[in-house]
Structure 1
Amino acid sequence: MMTNTSSNVTKYSLIAAFGGLVFGLDLLNISGAMRFISALFGLDDAQQGRIIGSTFYGVMVILFFAGTLCENFGRKKVLLGIALAYTISTLLSAFAVSYEMLLVGRFIGGAAFASIMVSAMYIGEVAPADQRGKFVSVNQLMIAIGIFLTSVINYFLLQYLADISFLSNENVWRYMLGSELIANIVWVTLLLKIPESPRWLLKKGRDEEARKAIEKIIPADEIETFISDVKESFHHETKSDTLTQLKNLFHKRMFLILAIAIVYAVVQGGTGMNAIMSFAPMVFEQVGMSTADSFMQTVILAVVNLTAVIIAVFTVEKLGRRKLTLGGLALVVIAHTSVWYGFKDTTYILDAPALANIQEQLKNEPVDLNKLQTLIGKTYESDIELKSALNETFTKQELPLASGAVINETIQGIKPIAVLFGILTFIAAFNLSIGPIMWVIFSEIFPNNVRSIGLAFAALIQTIASWSVSELFPWSLNNYGAANVFLMYAFIGLGGLIIMFIILPETKGKSIEALEKDLVRS
């Protein structure tokens, strides 16, 4: 019986977390597609940022209703609705004929990220306390798998673009985004096979249905204790509407829980992970890599990302949430400081040999490189100055295709080892710690009587932090420079490290009901 219940928990957790794979696919797909979309639609920095940011707008809207929907209809039905919404998003994005249509598709696509919050809620409610961290971390593992698959596919699409008759610069991004439809269909099919959360069923008084679900995930000799503990945690409350949950959530008794959730959400979203992944080729172009090399580095980044998450999944129950969080944040600060150091002394010089190399790299691209003649012999003291000059030189259609090659051939004084070490260390640190552990913490700290609204609120704060960083990323690079952008991320990480050292308790091995007794002030 133990083997069956354990196997079922694993299966249900993987299915619930499959939305993370869809999100990972989309996160790096839009990264690979961005230069082609920008060239086709002639996008400026703000519009590029908005393509990424529109997804977060969608998440924010959904999260306002997600808690209420989860409370009224259950976790399973909300996950199904999110999966279907994301299918619509994929179709609109892949067949977009204008910038505005793509924005609408991306906006609806925010549903995929909202699924991470709902699946964390679901997994936290079906997994046993001593394995909950591992199972909730599966969310991040699925994201990492999606990122890895997409990085490999995008790299080969770019490498063999000229050899595949039906692909071109104008349509390759449609195949990138459209490929997500396969994952969407698989996800919808799998979701039909999971039971509803037994805690939600018990809360709704549907005891018989709850018992059938519990029998699939809890050993027979523990069922009665489980039911008793869960019912006791509701404190005999009969009202669980949104307004009641909000009042309970923002009561002074919940101060510590809210403080942990808000700080963790701001730090996880504000240290730049989604911006770096969404604009990965753009980041590597700042180092002076060609477009092909930048996509290859994105594959390496995805491998590091996946490896780190796998390590986190198998260490979260051994090392605990607090140690992994604090150790990871310390590494985040070191990593971003290393990137800042690598970029801070760069200059850019365009001479005749550099121009010849640029012409060779871009010989098959629709870019008028004669425009660069007026820049020959000039030295730019920062990437800000160079990008300003390129903005004045090229059209919006030409700039995304030309900027990487120009940076690649003109950059001087950069410390590429420090930059690459910093970026890869950050990816590893994030996915070893604050990436997956945040969702573990969120799935554990909110009591049953505010669970739906509490998780949605925390996810909303994280989304706002991620959105502000991601949407402003292209603009920030061009106006503040790469060095200062990463220095800002380092300071956010340092602030989070100090605060979390003071307020974050260890939560491993405790039931949701036991944590309520520890964290809610009387």
Structure 2
Amino acid sequence: MGGVDTNRRALLLAIMVCFGGFVFGLDAALVSGTKAYVMRDLGADAIGFGYAVSAPGLGVVFALMVTGFVCDRLGRRTTLLIIGWLYLISAVGAVFSQTLWQLVAFRFLGGLAFASLSVSSMYVGEIAPPAKRGLLVAVNQLNIVVGLFAAYLANYFIQGWVADGAPIAAATGMDRYTWQWMLAVQIPPSILWILFLLKIPESPRWLLLKGRREEAAAVMRQLAPAGEVERSVAEIEAMVKAERAGNSGRSEGTWQSLARMFSPTIIRATIIGLVIASVQPTTGINAIMFYAPYVIEQSGVGADASFLVPVVNGVFSIIATSLALVFIDRIGRRTILLGGLAVAAVSLLACSLSFATATYRLEAPRIAALPVEIERASLAPVVGVTFDNDVAFKQALNGAIGRDVAERHEAELLKAATSINLWAVLIGIAAFVAAFQFSIGPIMWVILAEIFPTGVRGVAIPACALLTALINYFVQQLFPWQLVSFGAASVFGTYALCVTIGFVVLWRMLPETKGRSIEEIAATLAMKKEPA
């Protein structure tokens, strides 16, 4: 029974720590529904709105530069508490922003908290027993997709109440402060996560790194059966001592740890970590998830459906991530990762081909259904003209009715004009999202939590997360510009190519890590070849 109890305690701690993933999902996706309202109230264009969406991506870049130092100096628990407060302050500040740049600034502050993903994975990886590590680390990803789903659902209801003139919208001020209500959804969960973090213990591995053996043993007694506590503590302690001896007994700083990531015994782990950290964001997942309604609008389904489809995709994400939790410690990391990347590449390619063969033509009968703000006479130059791609169509609209009007009513104009294989796009996006959430979404954090030895983990995991954050920032920031300049077919095609390259590289390099201790994995990766 002791083993069952300790596994339950480890699961409970993982859920409490990984609730930050739920807060992250809310922070990341709630802004996706605010596009039309922010553009209206704060005078932003699509590119300006892109700054608000991508600001957290820039914030986390700066955060991850110091996350390793803070984690190793203050501990995992204290670092998580700092992150929790950043989420809360950012959410409150964003709600009360009066200008676009105030919104961008508070979103940037929230981005400093996005380091929670790497720190949570690090913490859970250090408290979890090897047989359950994949499951417990992947709880973080499940919380993220549940947070994304909750954000899309909240936006769907708020947008629907406002559009329908529901009494609740007038009574609560949603009709006047729509985007503020959307962003405020994050505030209560942020407070709850802080309360959770006050209840968790410090990581036993970090305590041993600091020479606090008795405290580490006390924590391990909560996480491991009584007969295994001393063995687990001794094993970790021996690994720490061996690493320090290999470094001539000196305590390493951040830069020394970074340099040692490229030493002969760790270089293979470093390459795998950097590759998977690059592949995950270049799938384009954050562009598709953070701009969800905007992405769906491009297929011509209209504004209402563009809020509903992400909710449906959110359900697929939860199912896929739940399946990943079930199979991650049974099938193994490598098989799930490579299978998911293959499906993702095919799905993105299907979307690209669908947009490449789409046509755009405004006919007179459909113009009557457009919003009254669009002058019918000004549309005359584009009526009855067939455009072979979305870029040419949007440019023609900008010239006819003005860029501001065209961008504010892009969903309605695309709905009236687009002829496309809609099901191929919707199914392709849904399949891509599900494949990502089943594979590289949770698997990346599991692998990063497994492949690096204890002595460099506090720096190596944030370093890989920093690379992911840098690429994610550019993916998010450039997405509106790419869409306007090159079109949806080019954007989806680029993502498909990146996924394919990632599949090939990881297929050649990535070993299976299922069921091995962190110390065993480190020893295996120190070899030149994977043993048969």
Match of 2:412 in 1: 405
RMSD: 1.5
Identity of aligned residues (%): 36
2:236 is aligned with 1:230: yes
Contact 1:42/1:396, CA 8 A, preserved across alignment: no
Gaps of 5+ in 2: 245-249
Alpha carbons of structure 1 residues 144 and 236: separation in structure 2 relative to 1, 3 Å: closer
Cα deviation digits, residues 86-116 of structure 1 (max 9, x gap): 1111011111100110111110111332101
Residues 298-447 of structure 1 aligned to structure 2 (within 5 Å): 298-358=310-370, 362-363=371-372, 368=375, 370-394=377-401, 397-412=404-419, 414-447=420-453
Alpha carbons of structure 1 residues 438 and 75: separation in structure 2 relative to 1, 3 Å: same
CA distance in 2, matches of 1:374, 1:100: 36
Cα deviation digits, residues 317-338 of structure 1 (max 9, x gap): 0110000011011001110011
Contact 2:95/2:184, CA 8 A, preserved across alignment: yes
2:456 is aligned with 1:450: yes
Contact 1:85/1:109, CA 8 A, preserved across alignment: yes
2:114 is aligned with 1:113: yes
Match of 1:50 in 2: 51
Secondary structure of the corresponding residue to residue 516 of structure 1: helix
Contact 2:42/2:98, CA 8 A, preserved across alignment: no
2:186 is aligned with 1:180: yes
Contact 1:136/1:440, CA 8 A, preserved across alignment: yes
Write the letter of the residue equivalent to 1:388. Answer: Q
Aligned structure 1 segments of 4 or more residues deviating by more than 6 angstroms: none
CA distance in 2, matches of 1:423, 1:474: 18
Residues 156-305 of structure 1 aligned to structure 2 (within 5 Å): 156-161=157-162, 162-163=165-166, 164-165=169-170, 166-167=172-173, 170-234=176-240, 235=242, 237=244, 238-305=250-317
Q: CA deviation at 1:244?
A: 2.4
Contact 2:45/2:404, CA 8 A, preserved across alignment: no
Secondary structure of the corresponding residue to residue 357 of structure 1: coil
Contact 2:32/2:290, CA 8 A, preserved across alignment: yes
Secondary structure of the corresponding residue to residue 130 of structure 1: helix
TM-score (norm 2): 0.94
Cα deviation digits, residues 477-510 of structure 1 (max 9, x gap): 1111111111111110110111111000000100
Secondary structure of the corresponding residue to residue 330 of structure 2: helix
Write the letter of the residue equivalent to 1:175. Answer: W
Stretch deviating more after TM superposition (31-40 or 374-383): 374-383
Gaps of 5+ in 1: none
CA distance in 2, matches of 1:212, 1:194: 13
Alpha carbons of structure 1 residues 503 and 420: separation in structure 2 relative to 1, 3 Å: same
Write the letter of the residue equivalent to 2:308. Answer: M
CA distance in 1, matches of 2:486, 2:345: 19
Write the letter of the residue equivalent to 1:371. Answer: S
Q: CA deviation at 1:371?
A: 3.4
Residues 60-209 of structure 1 aligned to structure 2 (within 5 Å): 60-161=61-162, 162-163=165-166, 164-165=169-170, 166-167=172-173, 170-209=176-215
Cα deviation digits, residues 255-275 of structure 1 (max 9, x gap): 211111111111110011110
Secondary structure of the corresponding residue to residue 154 of structure 2: helix
Contact 1:36/1:169, CA 8 A, preserved across alignment: no
CA distance in 1, matches of 2:497, 2:510: 19
Which one of the candidate residues 484, 489, 501 is aligned to 1:495? Answer: 501
Match of 2:38 in 1: 37
Contact 2:59/2:108, CA 8 A, preserved across alignment: yes
Which one of the candidate residues 504, 513, 516 is aligned to 1:507? Answer: 513
CA distance in 2, matches of 1:297, 1:482: 18
Alpha carbons of structure 1 residues 125 and 427: separation in structure 2 relative to 1, 3 Å: same
